[in-house]
């Protein structure tokens, strides 16, 4: 239930908010795609943990690059 709610919020962001912004994620896949895949694969708790860890790493001091869901 919580997993589905989070996935819905991410899809809403990807469809309506993200297109209005310039691409700025230094990682591939993008942080929102990564989060969606984490929730899909691991569920709410581990998906949230992995998503937060990814967002914390997504900053100007990070190299970025290819970072798939574990």
Domain boundaries, the chain: 28-60
* pTM of the predicted model as reported, rounded to 2 decimal places: 0.89
C-beta contacts of 57-60 below 8 A and 24+ residues apart: 57/27, 58/25, 58/26, 58/27, 58/31
Q: Is 60 exposed, middle or buried (0-12, 13-18, 19+ CB in 10 A)?
A: exposed
Which pLDDT score, from 0 to 100, does residue 7 have? Answer: 96
- What pLDDT is recorded for position 3? 93
Residue-level pLDDT, tens digit, the chain, 70 residues = 899 999 999 999 999 999 898 878 899 999 999 999 999 999 999 999 999 999 999 888 989 899 999 9
């Amino acid at each position: 239930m919580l997993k589905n709610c989070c996935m819905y919020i991410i899809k809403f962001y990807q469809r309506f908010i993200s297109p209005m912004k310039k691409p700025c994620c230094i990682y591939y896949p993008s942080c929102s795609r990564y989060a969606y895949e984490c929730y899909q694969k691991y569920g709410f708790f581990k998906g949230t943990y992995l998503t937060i860890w990814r967002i914390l790493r997504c900053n100007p001091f990070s190299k970025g690059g290819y970072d798939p869901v574990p």
